[in-house]
């Protein structure tokens, strides 16, 4: 039987238990929050390591680091995007790349880089309509920092479909965003060649070369275009190709053209 003193002691014990029970969820929440912060920090470290390895062209180590990011934070969109790029551009595992990009986009539907890379992957598969849709989705985000890339690739997707006027419009949109970007000038040149507008084609190919003197593909198209109208200038372009890349396929072909034209 509990006397008055015992009852008071029991009441104090009960109050203490209630206080402890009240604190326990806070302690658990604190531990969970600390663990979550630790996981995010670990994910950030591995993401930086992965990007550094990728810059060094050490693809496998980069891939491992990005996978470690996902162990700490399965919703890290940057790691998912990077893994997708590795699958697409290095491993040529396009289905895995598409899945990775789509996971990133489920996390952030406005993630333009993932849409762009998804478009590139579809382009590698020659699925031009899907590529076009992906590039257009990338461009919907007004905060997209490099829209010229998606406009340029959109232009090439239209070019591959044979829609040269839309291709030119997209290339021009790329130039409006970045006037020093040589690739869209090359694309415009190719498109004008398809439309039998040789003068405009030459003008844009020359612009691409001015912006990037090492642009071998642009020099090649210019040289091939000039063969009919100005053999000496064509030879000059072929010689530049040989100088820039003597052992490449285009370098070897350029040597043969020089011999034929001289």
User: Residue 6's pLDDT is what?
Assistant: 40
pLDDT in tens, 183-227: 999 999 999 999 999 999 999 999 999 999 999 999 999 999 999
Numbered ranges of CATH 1.25.40.10 in the chain: 161-208
Cβ-contact 144, 150 below 8 angstroms = yes
Return the half-sphere exposure (C-beta side, CA atoms, 13 A cut-off) of residue 250.
Answer: 18
Measured distance CA(70)–CA(81) in Å, rounded:
11
Residue given tokens 């509990």 in the structure block: 2
CB 84 within 8 A of CB 100: yes
pLDDT at residue number 37:
77
pLDDT at 143 over 50: yes
Mean pLDDT value across the chain: 90
Q: Give the whole-angstrom CA distance, residue 117 versus residue 103.
A: 13
What is the mean pLDDT of the segment spanning 131-157?
98
Q: Residue 125: which pLDDT band, with cuts at 50, 70 and 90?
A: very high
Predicted pLDDT at 217: 98
C-alpha–C-alpha distance, residues 209 and 215, integer Å: 6
**What pLDDT is stored for residue 205 in this prediction?**
98
* Cα gap 102→44, rounded to integer Å: 21
pLDDT at 3 over 50: no
Tens of pLDDT, residue by residue over 23-46, are: 555 555 555 556 677 888 998 999
pLDDT of residue 24: 53
Q: Is the predicted pLDDT of residue 5 greater than 80, yes or no? A: no
Please give the pLDDT value at position 257: 97
Quote the pLDDT of residue 39: 80
pLDDT computed for residue 38 by the predictor: 84
- Say if residues 152 and 183 touch (Cβ distance below 8 Å): yes
Q: How does pLDDT run across 63-121, given as a tens digit for each residue?
A: 999 999 999 999 999 999 999 999 999 999 999 999 999 999 999 999 999 999 999 99
Q: At what angle do helices 112-124 and 147-161 cross, to 10 degrees?
A: 30
The reply to whether CATH 1.25.40.10 applies to domain 161-208 is yes
């Amino acid at each position: 039987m509990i006397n008055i003193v015992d009852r008071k002691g029991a009441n104090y014990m009960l109050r203490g238990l209630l206080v402890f029970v009240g604190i326990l969820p806070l302690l658990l929440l604190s531990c969970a929050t600390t663990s979550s912060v630790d996981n995010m920090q670990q994910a950030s470290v591995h993401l930086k390591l992965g990007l550094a390895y990728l810059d060094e062209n050490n693809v496998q180590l980069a891939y491992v680091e990005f996978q470690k990011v996902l162990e700490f934070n399965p919703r890290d969109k940057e790691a998912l995007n990077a893994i997708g790029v590795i699958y697409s551009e290095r491993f040529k595992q396009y289905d895995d790349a598409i899945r990775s990009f789509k996971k990133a986009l489920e996390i952030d539907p406005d993630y333009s880089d993932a849409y762009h890379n998804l478009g590139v992957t579809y382009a590698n598969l020659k699925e031009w309509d899907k590529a076009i849709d992906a590039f257009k989705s990338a461009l919907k985000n007004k905060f997209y920092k490099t829209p010229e890339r998606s406009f340029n690739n959109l232009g090439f997707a239209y070019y591959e479909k044979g829609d040269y006027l839309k291709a030119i419009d997209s290339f021009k949109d790329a130039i409006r965003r970045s006037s020093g970007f040589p690739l869209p000038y090359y694309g415009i040149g190719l498109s004008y060649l398809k439309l039998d507008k040789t003068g405009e084609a030459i003008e844009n190919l020359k612009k691409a070369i001015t912006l990037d003197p090492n642009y071998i593909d642009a020099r090649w198209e210019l040289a091939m275009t000039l063969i009919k109208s100005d053999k000496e200038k064509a030879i000059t372009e072929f010689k530049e190709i040989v100088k820039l890349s003597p052992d490449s396929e285009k370098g070897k072909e350029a040597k043969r053209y020089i011999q034929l034209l001289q």
